[in-house]
Amino acid sequence: MDADAFIQTEGLTRVYSSGPVQVTALRDVTLSVERGSFVGVTGASGSGKSTLMNLLGGLDTPSAGRLSVGGRRISDLDHDELALFRRTTVGMIFQSFNLVGSHTALENVALPLLFAGVAKKERLRRAGELLGTVGLEGRAGHRPSELSGGEQQRVAIARALVNRPQILLADEPTGNLDSRTSRQIVESLVELRRARSLTVVMISHEQTLLREFADEVIRLKDGAVTQRERLR
Amino acid sequence: MRISDYIEQACGNLWKKKLRTFLTTCGVIIGVGALVCMFAFGQGVQRNIKDQFEEMDLLNYINVSPKNGARRDPSERDPDAPRAHDEPSEPAGDASPRVEMLDDDFIDEVMQIDGVEAAFPETRFPAQIRLGEREQFTLVQVVTARACGSELVQLRAGQPYTSDEPNEAMISDSLLRRLGNKKPETAVGQEVEIRTIRLDFSLASLMRMAFGRGDQRLPISSKRYPFKIVGVIERMGFGGAMPIRSDAFIPPGAAGRMRKLVLTGISDLFQPAEKMAGYSTVTVRVASPRLVADVKAKLDERGLRTFALMDQLDEMKKGFVIMDMFLLAVGMIGMTVASLGIVNTMVMSILERYREIGIMKAVGATDADVQKIFLFESGVIGFMGGVFGLALGWLVSIIINVVVNGLSAREGVPHIHYFSFPWWLCLGAVAFSVLVSLIAGIFPTIRAAAVDPVVALRHD
């Protein structure tokens, strides 16, 4: 175990059952991520990247093994404690943006604050401020369908950051974007990481972007870590 | 999440699906409307009956009479008196109360009971009443001026007598008609003659008994007394244990000066001597219907038979409860259908917002948060359905009132409010609607709370 690590996994395993069939999506993953680092996770489709991301984000619970964040054992938390963990510690960005279609950009960004019990006025103020940070101050009243892919992802980034998390998990955030927009999004993440002392874990197929911006790249294959490459 | 946020979220989400929300709410509105209408009708019937009782001031009265077959306290029997061999012996432990004589002493004692305002005997005697050339037989009732001035007496013309002494009388409009006068106003101030019968054991009477024929063989003679009509009252529409039930009333002072035979029927002659010794009935008026039970209990303890319309009202209330239950059961059919509509709407809403539920959970919503969001949506549907359903029920009741009263007015029936909307019914209807909606929402919301965020986020 690495005493300096912020995120630590030990023998992390996730097995999905579908009737008599059992699929091991993640197999005995042990890794550690330092606070404030930018870690890239890559691998082929079905290699277990999203499963790892879901476990790190507290959306899913491991079948075996341990996961700790900031010294706290996340793998032992119950439903409500995991919800609190997601609300206070983690911000997540998805390939398909996962914005609520009937909400405006501002409402989407403010959504996590709703569950944190923040007053409406304060919610909208903070959401508006973050939209400005990601360059969308003029698009606050627009619904996702009225925004481009890049804009939607920036709304998603703003939403992920509105609760001032310590970890930003990005699951292929550039998967639906063109290369220019992809670069802008990753640059934004790097900038925000620096400005907010975030620990970023980003899944991506784009080796070029990872090699350019990540401190470390982890390669997964068939649910297991096959390579760890420290770049900086 | 704050309560205000739940409400805002619920209203916002329902507003986004206006048509579906409208249709679902319509189901609740109709259900609540039907339920409210039924209940309001039941309440209206109860209120009308109770009001009628109260209007006639009948709930404050207790009729007191000796118990049939009651005997004098065995302790009063002379212990030395020989017992007839065929007289049944007293059963052991017989605790029959002694017969209480309803006389003036009894009335004085009753007046000392807390809450008793008045007590007067029901004294009626047979008499012929003559107005002009016409004469009618009736039972004249002796009633105090105080009782005559109460709501028991509904005046058609004139005033009740104000003193217990003068030779003043009040007669009913029906007796007045039988006496040939159809205009009560013209009767006030006129003189009537009340002819009583009395036992007569004078020499002349005895001679008639010895040598007369037919009715002349009875020791009875009659005497005429002039009375002034001071008021004409409405004939009571029904009988029963009414404190006032006659066609002619005179004050006790005037009655005391009359020679008369106090019999209301031949059956009175068969009453035991001890019963014949006092009044047959004493009417007790208490200050409030709430005191009736206490006063009645005290009179019951004395071994008397008591009757109060308040008791009848209590019996009727039991009947009303059954009627309310029946109406509730009928009304619940609508609410059951409406609640199924809510279940359907909520299930559909959850299916449509499956991915949204995943997003909410991903950004930190707990299972309880998700459950409450949908439960509040159910509750808002129930609240709107309750409020508008109440309005619908009220509107329908107005229409029915107008139509029925319009039709019955042709028959001379007075205007009646057939429906009653007490505050608890209004609040209860809305609360019940919300409750039913929340219950209907429980199953869908449990499903919503159980959504796996990982699966939901992949859901297209």
Chain A contact for B454 (CB, 8 A cutoff): yes
Residues of B in contact with A114 (CB under 8 A): 1, 5, 9
Q: Do B1 and A159 touch (CB under 8 A)?
A: no
Which residues are CB-contacts of A101 (< 8 A; sequence separation ≥ 6)? A143, A144, A145
Tokens of A191: 């900038």
Chain A contact for B7 (CB, 8 A cutoff): no
What pLDDT score was predicted for residue B213?
A: 66
- Would you list the DSSP string of A52-67? HHHHHTTSS--SEEEE
Which residues are CB-contacts of B166 (< 8 A; sequence separation ≥ 6)? B228, B251, B253, B254
What pLDDT score was predicted for residue A169?
A: 92
Q: Do A100 and B356 touch (CB under 8 A)?
A: yes
Q: Which 3 state secondary structure label does DSSP give B285?
A: strand
Dihedral (CA of A180, A185, A186, A191) sign: positive
Q: Which 3 state secondary structure label does DSSP give A131?
A: helix
What pLDDT score was predicted for residue B81?
A: 40
Query: Measured between CB atoms, which of A60, A79, A116 is closest to B364?
Result: A116
Give how far Cα B194 sits from Cα of B55, B227, B257, Å: 31, 7, 13
Dihedral (CA of B111, B116, B120, B121) sign: negative
- Comparing alpha-carbon positions, the chain B residue that sits nearest to A61 is B454
Q: Do A86 and B360 touch (CB under 8 A)?
A: no
Long-range Cβ contacts of A43-51 (<8 Å, 24+ apart): A43/A219, A43/A220, A43/A221, A44/A221, A47/A220, A47/A221, A47/A222, A47/A223, A48/A14, A48/A220, A48/A222, A48/A223, A48/A224, A49/A171, A49/A203, A49/A220, A50/A171, A50/A203, A51/A14, A51/A25, A51/A26, A51/A223
Chain A contact for B115 (CB, 8 A cutoff): no
Residues of A in contact with B1 (CB under 8 A): 114-115, 117
Query: Measured between CB atoms, which of A54, A60, A83 is closest to B365?
Result: A83
Whole-angstrom distance, CA of residue B68 vs CA of residue B264: 17
What pLDDT score was predicted for residue B215?
A: 57
Query: Measured between CB atoms, which of A54, A87, A111 is closest to B454?
Result: A54
Chain A contact for B446 (CB, 8 A cutoff): no
Which residues are CB-contacts of B222 (< 8 A; sequence separation ≥ 6)? B128, B195, B196, B197, B198
Q: Do B356 and A116 touch (CB under 8 A)?
A: no
What pLDDT score was predicted for residue B383?
A: 93
Q: What is the mean pLDDT of residues A83-106?
A: 89
Which residues are CB-contacts of B315 (< 8 A; sequence separation ≥ 6)? none
Rounded to two decimals, the pTM is 0.66
Q: What is the mean pLDDT of each run of 10 residues along chain B (460 residues)?
A: 84 86 89 88 83 73 72 38 40 50 82 84 85 89 78 80 88 90 89 88 73 66 90 63 73 86 67 63 83 88 83 78 83 84 86 88 90 90 92 92 86 79 89 90 88 82
Q: Do B363 and A159 touch (CB under 8 A)?
A: yes
Whether residue B169 contacts residue B194, with contact meaning beta carbons closer than 8 Å, is answered with yes
Cα dihedral B85→B88→B91→B92 (10° resolution): -10
Whether residue B62 contacts residue B459, with contact meaning beta carbons closer than 8 Å, is answered with no
Query: Measured between CB atoms, which of B9, B361, B457 is closest to A83?
Result: B361
What pLDDT score was predicted for residue B430?
A: 92
Q: Do A120 and B457 touch (CB under 8 A)?
A: no
What pLDDT score was predicted for residue B237?
A: 43
Query: Measured between CB atoms, which of B1, B359, B368 is closest to A98?
Result: B359
Query: Measured between CB atoms, which of B364, B369, B457 is closest to A98?
Result: B457
Residues of A in contact with B368 (CB under 8 A): 80
The CA distance from B345 to the nearest CA of chain A, in Å, is 18
Residue from B2, B363, B366, B369 whose CB has the most chain A CBs within 10 Å, to mutate: B363
Chain A contact for B1 (CB, 8 A cutoff): yes
Whole-angstrom distance, CA of residue A197 vs CA of residue A202: 15
Mean pLDDT of chain A: 87
Q: Do A163 and B364 touch (CB under 8 A)?
A: yes
What pLDDT score was predicted for residue B75?
A: 37
Residues of A in contact with B4 (CB under 8 A): 120
Give me the phi and psi of B96, to 5 degrees please: -60, 130
H or E element: which one contains B457? helix B453-458
* ipTM of this complex prediction, to 2 decimal places: 0.89
Question: In this prediction, what percent of chain A has a pLDDT beyond 70?
Answer: 98
Q: Are strands A38-43 and A90-94 parallel, antiparallel or unpaired?
A: unpaired
The CA distance from B410 to the nearest CA of chain A, in Å, is 60
Name the CA radius of gyration of chain A, rounded.
17
Residue from A55, A63, A114 whose CB has the most chain B CBs within 10 Å, to mutate: A114
What pLDDT score was predicted for residue B190?
A: 92
Q: Do A86 and B364 touch (CB under 8 A)?
A: yes
- Comparing alpha-carbon positions, the chain A residue that sits nearest to B353 is A100
- Comparing alpha-carbon positions, the chain B residue that sits nearest to A83 is B364
Query: Measured between CB atoms, which of B8, B365, B457 is closest to A115?
Result: B365
Residues of B in contact with A92 (CB under 8 A): 362-363
The CA distance from A86 to the nearest CA of chain B, in Å, is 5
What pLDDT score was predicted for residue B77?
A: 38
Residues of B in contact with A104 (CB under 8 A): none
What is the residue whose two structure tokens read 């029946």?
B326
Q: Do A120 and B5 touch (CB under 8 A)?
A: yes
Tokens of A124: 């909208």
- Comparing alpha-carbon positions, the chain A residue that sits nearest to B449 is A79
Chain B window 342-401: which residues touch A at a Cβ cutoff of 8 Å?
355-356, 358-369
Q: Do B5 and A114 touch (CB under 8 A)?
A: yes
